[in-house]
């Protein structure tokens, strides 16, 4: 079997890769296990130095890596440059702070001494998506490697070139051989990897269906698992919201990465008095966006990553319209080569429609009108997802009170939901469990070991 990398702007094949055989996979897992045993004995400052060098490597290769992402999955090139920079910042953050995060913690008890130490688990399998092909990997790998683990990456098949470049970047940073390895294989073979006795834990970023499948296998084998799954994030606009900044953030939050982001705002819940003004400004701003070649810095959006993703998004819009939604701008695929979809705004959206109930992974925004903040809160929580949310209001204290009642892992008041190496990131409900980033994230893949001296 081969893995194919296709340029979504043209539909043309970029490169094909032969899958690893079962024997090759077994050898890579065994090699990672052996390398991790040595790596775990390397001092934390030396591990941190590798992360610091990785940041240097990423910045040196920033333009090349950005172009690679744009060609392989359609990300606008300026956003791709920012993604590489964010990966470098994550490496620097853990290089500077990870040693302190993993320092033993003294806890008083009925003993001469007692403390907690944080030891690595071993070989960690990462199953990663295509939409942020570098960031999703580095936000896991940087803290996991610093903690003394080895990392096996099963990346999305369509971004295999990105995966190989990530492996090369770690090698150039001085990471010992075997500690970070790319496994070239299809999704149907992930279960056998999760079950492998030398794989001690799994992290997956992807759909809720993929999360359920991996978690089921991990549960049967009692493996630790962290899941960051889909989202249908609410973006609540209260009547006193600062309209100009709010609309600009709404457009960016929905359309970033061509709308292909788990934490993108997807349901725009606007309280009655400001609805008409928000609707006019939002629709005008979305309609003005330029869609085209992702390597052209003048374009705001590129293509969706695959043809089937455009087909599914078109189905969601078409079915929502059949059920009563109204297209205010956009509404379908753009004719011509590539997998382009027009930036779209729907109104009259309500529960029971795909645009409301499902995750729309592309440049489609759903407008919902709420009578008051309480109804906006009920609408925000009326979803199986719980990844992120935003609340916009001039009354920050009131917005914080509302935020406390929203069922999501991250709430941003008067800001756009985003991940930050300094802050924990993850969701609740069908958006997954466990946390990445910050000191919370680095401790997901360690043995929190109690030591008592009687």
377-403 per-position pLDDT tens digit: 999 999 999 999 999 999 999 999 999
444 is catalytic: no
> Is residue 424 in a domain?
no
What does the pLDDT average to over 192-205? Answer: 98
What does the pLDDT average to over 71-91? Answer: 98
pLDDT at site 279: 98
Give yes or no: residues 143 and 243 share one domain.
Answer: no
Give yes or no: residues 396 and 433 share one domain.
Answer: no
Give yes or no: residues 29 and 61 share one domain.
Answer: yes
Alpha carbon distances (Å) from 204 to 109, 190, 213, 223, 332: 37, 11, 11, 13, 31
Portion of the chain with pLDDT greater than 90, in percent: 100
262 is catalytic: yes
> Is residue 219 in a domain?
yes
> Is residue 267 in a domain?
yes
Q: Which of 199, 167, 225 is nearest to 33 (CA)?
A: 199
Give yes or no: residues 299 and 218 share one domain.
Answer: no
Q: How confident is the model at residue 290 (pLDDT cuts 50, 70, 90)?
A: very high
Give yes or no: residues 144 and 79 share one domain.
Answer: yes
**Residue of 262, 347, 356, 436 marked catalytic:** 262
Q: Is the pTM of this model over 0.95?
A: yes
Residues in a beta bridge with 301:
291
> Is residue 8 in a domain?
yes
State which residues form the domain around 290.
Answer: 233-413
Give yes or no: residues 392 and 311 share one domain.
Answer: yes
For 60-113, the three-class secondary structure string (H helix, E strand, C coil) is: HCHHHHHHHHHHHHCCCHHHHHHHHHHHHHHHHHHHHHHHHHCCCEECCCCCCE
* pLDDT at residue 1 greater than cutoff 90: no
> Is residue 212 in a domain?
yes
> Is residue 85 in a domain?
yes
**Cα torsion at 383, 386, 389, 395 (round to 10°)?**
80
Give yes or no: residues 193 and 262 share one domain.
Answer: no
Give yes or no: residues 352 and 434 share one domain.
Answer: no
CATH number where 365 lies: 3.40.309.10
pLDDT at site 345: 98
**Residue of 167, 228, 436, 444 marked catalytic:** 228
pLDDT at site 295: 98
Domains: count for the chain: 2
Rounded distance, CA 438 to CA 363, Å?
A: 30
Give yes or no: residues 241 and 200 share one domain.
Answer: no
* pLDDT at residue 318 greater than cutoff 90: yes
Specify the higher pLDDT residue, 272 or 86.
86
pLDDT at site 356: 98
> Is residue 288 in a domain?
yes
> Is residue 77 in a domain?
yes
pLDDT at site 446: 98
pLDDT at site 58: 98
Give yes or no: residues 126 and 197 share one domain.
Answer: yes
Query: What's the pLDDT tens digit per position in 44-53?
Result: 999 999 999 9
Give yes or no: residues 273 and 403 share one domain.
Answer: yes
Give yes or no: residues 71 and 89 share one domain.
Answer: yes
What is the phi/psi pair of residue 351, to 5°? -55, 145
CATH number where 118 lies: 3.40.605.10
């Amino acid at each position: 079997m081969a893995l194919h990398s296709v340029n979504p702007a043209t539909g043309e094949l970029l490169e094909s890769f032969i899958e690893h055989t079962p024997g090759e996979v077994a050898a890579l897992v065994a090699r990672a296990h052996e390398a991790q045993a040595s790596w775990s004995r390397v001092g934390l400052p030396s591990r941190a130095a590798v992360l610091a060098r990785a940041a240097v490597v990423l910045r040196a290769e920033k333009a090349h890596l950005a172009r690679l992402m744009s060609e392989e999955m359609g990300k606008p090139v300026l956003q791709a440059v920012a993604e590489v920079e964010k990966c470098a910042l994550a490496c620097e953050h853990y290089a500077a702070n990870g040693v302190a995060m993993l320092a033993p913690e003294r806890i008083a008890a009925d003993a001469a001494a007692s403390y907690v130490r944080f030891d690595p688990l071993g070989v960690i399998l990462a199953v990663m998506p295509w939409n942020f092909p570098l960031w999703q990997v580095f936000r896991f790998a940087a803290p996991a490697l610093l903690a003394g683990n080895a990392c096996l990456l099963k990346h999305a098949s369509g971004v295999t070139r990105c995966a190989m470049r990530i492996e090369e970047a770690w090698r150039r940073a001085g990471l010992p051989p075997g500690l970070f390895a790319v496994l070239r294989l299809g999704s149907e073979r992930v279960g056998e990897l999760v079950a492998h006795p030398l794989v001690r834990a799994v992290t997956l970023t992807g759909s809720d269906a993929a999360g359920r499948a991996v978690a089921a296998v991990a549960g049967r084998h009692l493996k630790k698992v962290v899941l960051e799954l889909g989202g249908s994030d609410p973006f609540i606009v209260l009547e006193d919201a600062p309209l100009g900044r709010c609309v600009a953030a709404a457009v960016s939050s929905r359309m970033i990465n061509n709308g292909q982001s788990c934490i993108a705002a997807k349901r725009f819940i606007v309280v009655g008095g400001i609805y008409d003004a928000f609707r006019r400004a939002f629709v005008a701003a979305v309609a003005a966006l330029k869609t085209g070649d992702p390597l052209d810095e003048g374009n705001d959006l590129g293509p969706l990553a695959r043809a089937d993703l455009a087909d599914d998004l078109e189905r969601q819009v078409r079915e929502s319209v059949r059920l009563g939604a109204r297209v205010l701008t956009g509404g379908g695929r753009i004719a011509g080569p590539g997998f382009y979809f027009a930036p779209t705004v729907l109104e009259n959206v309500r529960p029971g429609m795909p645009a409301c109930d499902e995750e729309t992974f592309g440049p489609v925004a759903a407008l919902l009108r709420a009578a008051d903040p309480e109804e906006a809160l009920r609408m925000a929580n009326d979803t199986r997802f719980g990844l992120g949310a935003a609340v916009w209001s001039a009354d920050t204290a009131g917005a914080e009170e509302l935020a406390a009642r929203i069922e999501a892992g991250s709430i941003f008041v008067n800001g756009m939901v985003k991940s930050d190496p300094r802050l924990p990131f993850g969701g609740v409900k069908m958006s997954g469990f466990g946390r990445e980033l910050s000191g919370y994230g680095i401790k997901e893949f360690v043995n929190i070991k109690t030591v008592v001296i009687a």
